[in-house]
Structure 1
Amino acid sequence: MLTISEVLIALAVFLLIMQFFKLQRVRKQLPPGPIPLPVFGTLIQLNFQFNRDLLMKVAKIHGNIFTLWFGWAPVIVLNGYQAVKDGMTTYPEDVSGRLVSPFFRAMAKGKGIMLATGHTWKQQRRFALRTLRNLGLGKRGLEHRVQEEAHYLVAFFASMKGKPLDPSFPLVHSVSNVICAVVFGHRFSREDESFHELIRATEHLFKFGGSFIHHLYEIFPWLMCRLPGPHKKALSCYEVLSSFTRREIRMHTEHGIPDEPQDFIDFYLAHIEKSRDEPRSTYNEDNMVYSINDLFLGGSETTSTTLNWGLLYMVANPDVQEKVQRELDAVLSPSQLICYEDRKDLPYTNAVVHEVQRFSNIISVGMPRVCVRNTTLLGFPLKKGTIVLPNIASSLYDPEHWETPRQFNPGHFLDKDGNFVSQEAFLPFSVGHRVCLGEHLARTELFIFFASLLRAFTFRLPEGVTQINTEPILGGTLQPHPYRVCAIPR
């Protein structure tokens, strides 16, 4: 006679076997990939890891479109420039949904821009693009903000008088102040403690992204939300950002909406009033808060991290640094304000900035998309709701499009005569309907900040330091290991 526990074990084994065979039937209709197992999917075969290099290794076995399984859910991965580009642009509307995973739902509740989907995403993104243009995106008005922050940054480095410093905070402070001026209407001083707290919170969020605990939360949200751990700290850090934003909104509300809006909050408050009677309007304070959070997170961490890598690469490649400085000295006068248009007369500097973006490749894996309707992706029929993951990093390291993909080489963006050339596989801002809406601002910031620093200083390692670690720290963005550098006035 079987005991109750033996019956339950037998039943569980039977159900797992049935689920295994069901997975194999479904698997035949999807792109190839590792064999999925019940509960764990393909996580065991991946050693519970998930990063760009691992995805590129899987692609060598299964091809540039393959399927991974997270539990019961299939994820279609696109690898390499051609697969990413074709997959995201052939039917861009079909793959414009956003996977609002358990952790991101707990964090942003499906609101805002970056972590929203459907009608909410369309309205919020359209409004943000229009408002950023009204505030000077792509025009000299916003470029002036970047030049102003570049001036403050150069002044801070000069105040160190060549002594060793960690450049990470000055960089993120200056870059963040550009988006703060756009969104909040003012900048923050280097001594503002509430702004320091905001920066620390955003840094912690990005470090948590992509961690083992983060992946665990996405697989077992019903368990993790009841347990203490780093995920609770990450969620509290996002709340720090939300509270900061709500405080700024409250200050704007108390002063009233001006006749001529001066910043993003002014425009949004005015639009809430204007659209109050629209039945499908998503314009409300919550969506305003989460949209501003998205602009701040997307407009600060990624650009400052890229600049941080840029200074490290200059220290590691002094010949490249010297060549940039020679070009800057030959083209620009010492007191001349650096403009984004100057990149056309500075092809080598422009190539170096692009190569810093390509080689640092700071986004470990692109944000997942979701099919909003039944569609066909590179010849494979996919059902509505299927998750699609474009491995953006693989495009930037694609050996079919880059001569030395794993080496820092500004020549990737130069022709034989030294003229700058664009490269189609250069997709650091993603591609398709979900392309980064702050792309132009980020390009402007990277060029002006980088050129301003290299014109004013030569960057060297502190005395006695000989080792340079150029391996990244894995996280939501790939950060360089903390380092100190001497900014020697030129």
Structure 2
Amino acid sequence: MIFLSLFERVDFTGWLLFGFVLLLLIDVVRNWRPHNFPPGPLAVPFIGNVFTGVDFKTMDKLAQEYGPVFSLRRGSERMVLISGYKMVKEALVNQLDSFVDRPVLPLFHVIFKGIGVVMSNGYLWKKQRKFANTHLRYFGEGQKSLEKSIQVESNFLCDAFKEEQGRPFNPHYTITNGVSNIIASVLFGHRFEYSDESFRKFLELDNDAILLAGSARAQLYDAFPGLLKHLPGPHQIVHANYGKILNFLKKEIEKHQEEWNPNDPRDYIDVYLGEMERKKEDPQAGFNTETLLVCILDLMEAGTETTATTLRWALVFMMNYPDIQKKVQAEIDSVIGQSRQPTMADRPNMPYTDAVIHEIQRLGNIVPMGFPKMASKDTTLGRYFIPKGTAVTMILASVLFDKNEWATPDVFNPEHFLDSDGQFLRREAFLPFSAGKRVCLGEHLARMELFLFFTSLLQHFTFSPVPGEMPSLEGVMGFTYSPEEFRMVAVPR
């Protein structure tokens, strides 16, 4: 009777208040910070720290306040962030098996579905990565070696720059197309002309998706996917762009299926189709058309975006530091001259150029937040406990700018990679490709491309800013960190 009487006295507003308090208590209990979990800023009920910036500069400030291992909450999901060379090395190298897995990222899961090379886990990931690692190196246009393919593409790229006849132009998609042609020749057995409108559209769609995916509004989708999938926003553009990209790649697969000769594999797709036949009795390995599509997307993006963006940063830095550009050209003239193309055999004899390329990668800071990982088991890092299944982000920018590792971390300084005798100096804190079992699959290819493209361009051209349009050294934060759009002048030497 007493409860019935109380029930009759509470009005609608009272019930709303009661419901809110109940939900608040449930949220507090559900999201109570685990014992000895890394510290972090106070989370707002229901939404967590979604108003905290997602860029590497904000993360640096949080690391200064809470230490090199700290946490944030997005919606009801907690994530741990790791900052500074010492702690990142501890996580990726010293605890090699602790952070191997990938978490489910709803923004990307819609497209990548936890299969392929980048976002998969467990047995499927091991099989797909091993297959990619084994077969990527064996294919190129006309069965040429990868080095030869890059040299040939360097000629096309230099010819495209010459066609500008010293006029101001934006090199963005010419460079991106050139770089992408290397992985395209491996995957598809052919390159794409710079005038190919359909491939140019493919590159533009991918660039826009990568740029938007790093925005705070798009990453809200990871916190509230059930709600936001029904609402407009940048996540819808990301998903729509990837849908068109997948349609482009499906056509390449279908063409290969029609022409496939199991006795004469021409490229990665052909050899993958053969593996699908051989692995029919092992469905857990994931060798099927759906996984092939995602693998191609993984490899196209991994083989295009970071290297092309690094080369764009290279041009920005060379224009901002013309004296360094001249020193690189002097070394090129001394070692290679003008009568032949650069080769990888030249690199040991060109320590200054090698140091400049490494400094471009360091200060360019292409993937500042790394790629999210997940604790594969209960782990202790530093003095904190990280439960199995917790999403973990290694802040690579904090390694590349670590004040304890670099003499002038915020300044473009090739001396970071030179010893007192002017010889190239390897640095352990140089981790643009990450480290450990999830280290970038295309690191070897990227290093070749950066050296051969960069030296070829500076062998043939001097790069100057358009008067009054010096390219900015401040980048644009997307999923990668890229230069602002710029125009330049390429003067033949």
Confirm or deny that 1:29 pairs with 2:36.
Answer: yes
1:434-445 equivalences in 2 (<5 Å): 434-445=438-449
Q: C-alpha distance in 1, partners of 2:240/2:252?
A: 19
Residue ranges of structure 1 left out of the alignment (5+ in a row):
none
How many Å separate the matches in 2 of 1:206 and 1:23? 31
Partner AA of 2:310 in structure 1: T
Contact 1:23 / 1:36 at 8 angstroms: preserved in 2? Answer: no
Q: How does 1:241-320 map to 2 (within 5 A)?
A: 241-320=245-324
Q: In the alignment, does 2:441 pair up with 1:449?
A: no
1:477 matched to 2:453? The reply is no
Shift of 1:372: 2.2
1:304 partner SS: helix
Q: Supply the AA of the counterpart residue of 2:38.
A: P
User: How far off its partner does 1:249 sit?
Assistant: 1.0
Which amino acid in the other structure matches residue 214 of structure 1? A
CA contact (8 A) 1:87 1:378 kept: no
User: What is the correspondence of 1:406-425 to structure 2 with a 5 Å cutoff?
Assistant: 406-425=410-429
Find the residue that maps to 1:94 and give its secondary structure. coil
Question: Which one of the candidate residues 132, 146, 160 is aligned to 2:164?
Answer: 160
Answer yes or no: is the 8 Å Cα contact 1:257–1:269 preserved in 2: no
Measure the CA separation in 2 of the matches of 1:479 and 1:280.
38
Q: Secondary structure at the match of 1:280?
A: helix
**How far off is 1:219 after superposition?**
1.4
Distance in 2 separating the partners of 1:432 and 1:367: 13
Q: Work out the CA distance in 2 between the residues paired with 1:428 and 1:181.
A: 25
Distance 1:416 1:263 in 2: 45
> Over aligned residue pairs, what C-alpha RMSD do you find?
1.8
- Cα distance, 1:373 vs structure 2: 2.3
**Secondary structure, aligned partner of 1:95:** coil
How far residue 310 of structure 1 moved from its aligned partner, in angstroms, is 0.4
1:489 maps to: 492
Once the 2 structures are TM-superposed, how far is the Cα of residue 89 of structure 1 from its aligned partner? 1.9
Q: 1:383 aligns with which of 384, 387, 391?
A: 387
Letter aligned with residue 475 of structure 1 = G
Q: Which residue of the partner structure matches residue 20 of structure 2?
A: 12
Contact 2:137/2:146 (CA < 8 Å) preserved in 1?
no
Inter-partner Cα distance in structure 1 for 2:228 and 2:30: 28
Moved more, 184-193 or 86-95: 86-95
Bigger drift between 256-265 and 242-251 goes to 256-265
Q: Is the 8 A contact 2:402 2:409 kept in 1?
A: yes
Please say if 1:347 is aligned against 2:354.
no
**Which amino acid in 2 is paired with 1:395?**
V
Q: Which residue of 1 aligns with 2:5?
A: none
Residues 289-328 of structure 1 deviation map (CA, whole Å, 9 limit, x = unaligned):
0000000011111111110010011000000000001111
Aligned partner of 1:5: which letter?
T
Contact 1:305 1:479 in 2 (8 A): yes
Distance (whole Å) between structure 1 residues aligned to residue 54 and residue 78 of structure 2 = 14
Give the distance between the partners of 2:350 and 2:490, measured in 1 at CA.
22
* Counterpart-to-counterpart distance in 1, 2:187 and 2:38: 43
Instruction: Please state if 1:374 is matched with 2:381.
Output: no
Deviation at 1:261, TM superposition (A): 1.7
State whether structure 2 residue 326 is matched by structure 1 residue 322. yes
Question: Which residue matches 1:465?
Answer: 468
CA distance, structure 1, for counterparts of residue 480 and residue 67 of structure 2: 26
Distance (whole Å) between structure 2 residues aligned to residue 467 and residue 344 of structure 1: 32
Find the aligned partners of 1:394 and 1:365 in 2 and give their Cα distance.
9
Question: For structure 2, which runs of at least 5 residues remain unmatched after alignment?
Answer: 1-8
Please, which moves more after superposition, 223-232 or 410-419?
223-232
Letter of the structure 1 residue corresponding to residue 483 of structure 2: P
Counterpart in 2 of 1:179?
Answer: 183
Contact 1:180–1:187 under 8 Å retained in 2: yes
Q: Secondary structure at the match of 2:60?
A: helix
Residue 29 of structure 1: how far off its partner (Å): 2.4
> Does the 8 A contact of 1:120 with 1:282 survive in 2?
yes
Alpha-carbon shift at residue 140 of structure 1 (Å)? 7.7
User: TM-score, normalised on structure 1?
Assistant: 0.95
Alignment partners' CA distance in 1, 2:195 and 2:283? 45
Residue 63 of structure 1 corresponds to which residue in structure 2? Answer: 67
CA–CA separation in structure 1 for the residues paired with 2:18 and 2:197: 60
Cα distance in structure 2, aligned partners of 1:257 and 1:164: 47
- In the alignment, the residues of structure 1 paired with residue 92 and residue 144 of structure 2 have an alpha-carbon distance, to the nearest angstrom, of 32
Cα distance, 1:136 vs structure 2: 7.4
1:93 CA displacement: 2.1
* Preserved CA contact (<8 Å) 2:363 2:400: yes
- Of 86, 90, 103 in structure 1, the residue corresponding to residue 90 of structure 2 is 86
- 1:68-108 CA-partner distances (Å, limit 9, x unpaired): 11122221111011111111122322211101211111121
- The 5 Å alignment of 1:384-399 reads 384-399=388-403
**Residue in structure 1 matched with residue 6 of structure 2 by the alignment:** none
The answer to whether the 8 A contact 2:128-2:285 is kept is no
Helix, strand or coil at the partner of 1:257: coil
User: Per-residue deviation at 1:40?
Assistant: 2.1
Match of 2:46 in 1: 39
Cα deviation for residue 357 of structure 1 reads: 0.4
The range that moved more, 201-210 or 114-123, is: 114-123
1: CA distance, partners of 2:450 / 2:194 = 20
Superposed displacement of residue 21, structure 1:
5.8
CA distance in 2, matches of 1:23, 1:249: 45
Matched residues, number: 484
